[in-house]
Amino acid sequence: MSKYTEEDLEQELKTKEYEYGFYTDIESETFAKGLNEDVVRAISKKKNEPQWMTDWRIEAFRVWEKMEEPDWANVKYPKPDFQGIAYYSAPKQKPKLNSLDEVDPDLLETFKKLGISLEEQKRLANVAVDIVIDSVSVATTFKKTLGEKGIIFMPISEAIQEHPELVRKHLGTVVPTSDNFYAALNSAVFSDGSFCYIPKGVKCPMELSTYFRINEGGTGQFERTLVVADKGSYVSYLEGCTAPSRDENQLHAAVVELIALDDAEIKYSTVQNWYPGDADGKGGVFNFVTKRGICETNAKISWTQVETGSAVTWKYPSCILKGNNSVGEFYSIAVTNHHQQADTGTKMIHLGKNTKSTIISKGISAGKSQNSYRGLVHVGARAENARNFSQCDSLLMGNACGAHTFPYIEAKNKSAQIEHEATTSKIGEDQLFYCNQRGIDTEKAIALIVNGFSKEVLNKLPMEFAVEAQKLLEISLEGSVG
């Protein structure tokens, strides 16, 4: 029998292991496990931080201590042991890099396996790469080109040293330390991340890109990203991640803050492919991220994400549309397979007049996974003429997964116009037959149809990312049942 049955597909799905499951052996200096005020101080000291930064962390830690881990999301997982995590780790020799030759060969090897080697990256037009391996940056390139425009793009730890006034002014203004459990934790212990400042009127000439990786065993990673787009400026920021395969759950609690001042625009794109655990749901990354941006007058923030990884995802990139005429956008594809659980969506908070938001969310669930969209559209009493359009589509593959939609819509202004639509569907037998008839096998047909389903969002990604994202979609659904 040459027929490719659902069972065959399922079998293949089961044996499909994590593509990038490997582990780089870089010597690390790691703190003992556990968290208390002394550890927070030690992290700050290690990084040579000014007193205000230390105080800020301590304050966050005290807030965190009093908080409880949230449990409202539609996800189930063993609660991490926060005292069982080492809160600091850095590669021992911090190489000063002028060229790729100086990069740790192991690291280069790692990137090769990912198919996103630095060589390739460098060849890609206009992409500056700031690699974060574990928690400390080890390479920054293209600094010069950016420097000429007055653009600051560096590890946030360096920015704290070199541009303390900028960091101090903006850090924690969009996501306050007390915002939520994970944000507070991140504020207390974040080790590094990226800082980006685009001066007034400057259009950043290239896509800014960072590749994050979680590496050291048992080390939680807490990045902190702060992007400030000054008046009239523009920046497109790319973030992509993957992690080594391991058995132990790894916690990731990042905070990303975006500030778009008057007339500025920030485009923030993410492709996330962390280790989702094995076919039995063992291992995998816990991804609890707080991402939020604030728009001043006429500003625009656009979040685009392709989420295929992590065992548990809890993530709501949001926009506070404070300024009049500001615009918020959220384009998302979330794919879950095996035992993955994703609870993701966005919040659009309309405060200013004539503010506009668009939400396009595409959820694809396969295997035994659970995929939830959770979103809030809030129109405040003074937000005259606010507009929102939301479209949440779910595609189910197989009969052991779930797709859920939890939109919250709050309108306090009569001029508000809000439209929310949601649909759920599966890939039609007739669609598959049509493709088969034209010589396309079932697996390829599924990839094609899923791609079509996700098109609106894929189109929003910068070219070089779209290709990678498309590949990821295919990989994560390979062998799924139609």
Within 10 A of 170 (CB to CB), how many other CB atoms are there? 18
Q: Interface with other proteins by CB under 8 A: which range of 55-63, 168-176, 299-307, 403-411?
A: 403-411
Provide the residue count of the chain. 482
Contact 86, 32 (CB under 8 A): yes
The site for other proteins, by CB under 8 A, has a size of: 62
Binder of other proteins out of 448, 474, 475, 478 (CB under 8 A): 448
Beta strand segments in 234-339, E: 234-242, 250-252, 255-260, 265-273, 285-295, 300-307, 312-315, 318-321, 327-336
The answer to whether 397 contacts other proteins (rule: CB under 8 A) is yes
Task: State which of residues 396, 446, 461, 466 lies at the interface with other proteins (CB under 8 A).
Answer: 396
Looking at this protein, which amino acid is placed at residue 366?
Answer: A
**Least gap, CB of 447 to other proteins (angstroms):** 9
Site membership for other proteins, residue 478 (CB under 8 A):
no
122 lines the binding site for other proteins (CB under 8 A): no
Is 444 a binding residue for other proteins by CB under 8 A? The answer is yes
Query: Judged by CB under 8 A, does residue 11 bind other proteins?
Result: no
Question: Can residue 438 be called a binding residue for other proteins (CB under 8 A)?
Answer: yes
Q: Which is nearer to other proteins, 148 or 429 (CB)?
A: 429
- Among 356, 349, 279, 342, residue whose Cα is nearest residue 313: 342
Residue burial 191-213, b: 16+ Cβ < 10 Å; e: rest: bbbbbbbbbeebebebbbbbbbb
The Cβ-side half-sphere exposure at 120, using a 13 Å CA radius, reads 12
Q: How far is the CB of 357 from other proteins (least distance, A)?
A: 13
Alpha-carbon gap, residue 479 to 255, rounded angstroms:
34
Side-chain half-sphere exposure of 139, counting CA atoms within 13 A: 24
Binder of other proteins out of 7, 15, 66, 72 (CB under 8 A): 72
Q: Which is nearer to other proteins, 380 or 462 (CB)?
A: 380
Closest approach, Cβ 122 to other proteins, in A, equals 26
| Backbone φ, ψ for residue 78 (5° rounding) | -70, 130
Quote the DSSP letter at residue 341: E
CB-based contact 247:239 (threshold 8 Å): no
CB of 341 to other proteins, least distance (A): 14
User: For residues 195 and 453, which CB has a smaller minimum distance to other proteins in the complex?
Assistant: 453
**27, 106, 425, 467: residue in contact with other proteins (rule CB under 8 A):** 425
- Which residues contact other proteins (rule: CB under 8 A)? 1-4, 72, 379, 381, 394, 396-426, 428-431, 433-442, 444, 448-449, 451-456
